[in-house]
Amino acid sequence: MGLTWLDAAAMTLIVVEAAFLAWLLRHRAMGSRAQRLLEDRLRFETLLSDLSAKLIHVDASGLDAALGAALRQVVAFLGMDRGNLDEYIEGRPGARVSWTEPGIEKLPPILAAGHFVWTAGTLRRGGVVRFRRTDALPAAAAADRAGYERLGTRSHLSIPLQAGGPMLGVLSFDSVRAERDWPDELVDRLRLLSEAFAGALERKRMELALAERLRFQRLLSDLSVRFANVPALDFDQAVHGALRSIVDFLGVDRAALIAFPTRGGAEASWSVDGATDMSRLSWLMPRLQSGDVVRVSPPAELPDGMKDLVALPLRSGGVILGGLVVATVGAGRAWSDELLEQLHLVGETVANALAAGQAERESGRLRQELAHIGRVSAMGELAASLAHELNQPLTAILNNAEVAQQHLQAAAPNRLELREILDDIVADDKRAAEVIQRLRALLKKGTLEHAPLDINDVVGEVAQLVRNDVVLRNVPMTVDLASGLPVVRGDRVQLQQVILNMVLNGLEAMVEPNGRAHALVIRTSRAGDAAVRVAVEDSGAGIDMENVERLFQPLYTTKPEGLGMGLAIARTIVDAHGGRLRASNNAAGGATFQFTLPVAADRGR
């Protein structure tokens, strides 16, 4: 029996319903897939927006922590087992941020030498490295494949980080527990995400570069301040402070400054933090003197465990004055072109300071010569009183010797009286020797000897030297020494010369009668917390305050027979000691010449 039209209609209806049902199911599946894709895109957009907001508002000091948190978010979003963000800096290691699931070994730096050569080359050329399985890698990546397999990597993705310029780093993701596809759409999204990481790294570099430039400017400023108008007495201290600043800035372990000899003088050197005997680097000196910049890395050529060394010749006015040497111990130092350029600028600043120091030392030598001439001249003014002071003990010695001869001619010499006579002769001889010793100290021509001094002792010795002169001039002299004065630092002979010159000026001011009783006072006192004062007061005619500064100029004098050099030399000496010499009139008549000296400070290096 054949099919009726009713059966055919029923079958047609069933087919239509089945087709319609299939269409509905397919449409629903497509809708679900589209919805999932939309949800994934929304999740990704949310992640991108969130990470961008977090990374853009973090300063450089907190950026590494922010990058670590961002990396962990991306790894969790992708469902991966480990992720790495490796900064790339030519010639030296950069920062590294890594995150792994517990129990999984960290992935070593992708760009590190020898780890993944093919991968690193592809990334440096701007390519993306991705694979579902390690056997998908090309034959050229055989060494990389072995490396990934040793680390348990099953699927991997590495994206170069760029911000419109050279590569800044690499963003890597690894799957260890399962294989993972890397479709183009996902890679494109992750490239977009990588721009947020690249922008953060670029901003970090810019902020760090700016901070480094500011730090360098502070170093140059610090060196300039240290060496600005530094007196010869403080030059060594300034050099050691400057070398410590250079060591801190460069991140090295040792630094030394060498000054080549001038005018037949000796070579000088200063060093900090584990000084190296420069005689052990004798090969270095000729190269610096010839103007070579020296860079040495092989440890075999360097003593004392140094790993690398850089030495710069220091030039000023076209003349090589010395060398600046920096070195590392224990670990080598990468010397970029920018760092070497900064070192050259530091060298120029130090060279100028070295030139100023040498000029100051030469000036000091000339001052010393001039001061010696001034002392000889002052001794000429004291010739009569010194002759009288020497004549007294010598005459007493002669008289006592003659009396002793008479006693010896007696039949029974009085031994007790002879003993007393001999004691007197010894005492007078010591008096004469002390006078001669004081004269020799003032007249000797030697190097400066800066040492801690009790200013009262210095003043007392000068008072002893002039005591006969004030007696001969019939001028009462009072010495008023304050107790408990702090120690000063200076050259004893030169400071005695200053006081002697002030005393002689005071005595000369009282030669002409002016209706006031003659009086000379030498006084010491405190001048605040940081200085002591020495003053010489006279009762002479006073000084013309309109020309008071001219008194301290060379060749200016108010004396008929004066050379006009005494006060000029005295001020030069006081200035070199960091003090100040000045003059003023007394309220009751006469004038006061006084100078201050800074209290001696601890000079630790």
Coil, strand, or helix at residue 306? strand
Do residues 462 and 502 both lie within one domain?
A: yes
The pLDDT of residue 40 is: 62
How far apart (Å, rounded) are the C-alpha atoms in residues 226 and 204?
32
H/E stretch holding 239: helix 235-250
Segment 359-368, tens digit of pLDDT? 666 555 545 5
Mean local confidence (pLDDT), 111-120: 82
> Is 212 contained in some domain?
no
Question: For every residue of 388-451, which 3-state class applies, written as one string?
Answer: HHHHHHHHHHHHHHHHHHHHHHCCCCCHHHHHHHHHHHHHHHHHHHHHHHHHHHHHCCCCCCEE
411, 429, 445 - which closes a domain: 445
Strand order across the 477-480 sheet = 477-480, 520-526, 531-538, 591-598, 580-585
How far apart (Å, rounded) are the C-alpha atoms in residues 132 and 157?
9
Segment 323-340, tens digit of pLDDT? 888 888 776 667 777 788
Do residues 129 and 260 both lie within one domain?
A: no
pLDDT confidence tier of residue 141, bands split at 50, 70 and 90 = very high
CA distances from 126 to 17, 137, 201 (A): 55, 17, 17
Could you list the residue range(s) of the whole structural domain that residue 10 is in?
1-45
The model scores a pTM over 0.75: no
Residue 344, domain CATH:
3.30.450.40
- Paired tokens of 170: 């690499």
Angle of helix 455-472 relative to helix 492-509, nearest 10 degrees?
30
Coil, strand, or helix at residue 82? strand
Do residues 466 and 537 both lie within one domain?
A: yes
> Is 185 contained in some domain?
yes
Do residues 461 and 602 both lie within one domain?
A: yes
> Is 50 contained in some domain?
no
Segment among 190-194, 235-239, 406-410, 456-460 with least mean pLDDT: 406-410
Phi, psi of 341 (to 5 degrees): -65, -40
- Give the number of domains in the chain: 5
> Is 66 contained in some domain?
yes
Neighbours of 428 (CB within 10 A): 19
> Is 51 contained in some domain?
no
- Token match 């003593």: residue? 303
* Counts for the chain of helices (H) and strands (E), in that order: 13, 17
Do residues 343 and 458 both lie within one domain?
A: no
The pLDDT of residue 6 is: 66
Do residues 460 and 599 both lie within one domain?
A: yes
Which residues have C-beta within 8 Å of that of residue 191, sequence separation ≥ 6? 128, 159
Do residues 506 and 572 both lie within one domain?
A: yes
Do residues 298 and 241 both lie within one domain?
A: yes
Do residues 87 and 128 both lie within one domain?
A: yes
Contact yes or no for 307/330 (Cβ under 8 A): yes
Of 262, 243, 280, residue with least CA distance to 321? 262
Segment 386-399, tens digit of pLDDT? 555 555 566 667 66
Neighbours of 43 (CB within 10 A): 11
> Is 375 contained in some domain?
no
Do residues 530 and 550 both lie within one domain?
A: yes
> Is 565 contained in some domain?
yes
Segment 558-597, tens digit of pLDDT? 554 544 556 777 787 788 788 888 888 888 888 898 999 9
Which class for 552: exposed (0-12), middle (13-18), buried (19 or more C-beta within 10 A)? buried
Looking at residue 599, what DSSP letter applies? B
Mean local confidence (pLDDT), 31-36: 56
- Token match 């009462």: residue? 476
Which residues have C-beta within 8 Å of that of residue 542, sequence separation ≥ 6? 585, 586, 589, 590, 591
Report angle CA 321, 326, 328 to the nearest 5 degrees. 165
- Paired tokens of 253: 């372990």
> Is 373 contained in some domain?
no
Do residues 404 and 529 both lie within one domain?
A: no
Segment 425-483, tens digit of pLDDT? 776 676 666 666 655 655 555 555 678 899 999 898 888 877 777 777 788 889 999 99
CA distances from 387 to 138, 243, 383 (A): 107, 54, 6
Do residues 441 and 461 both lie within one domain?
A: no
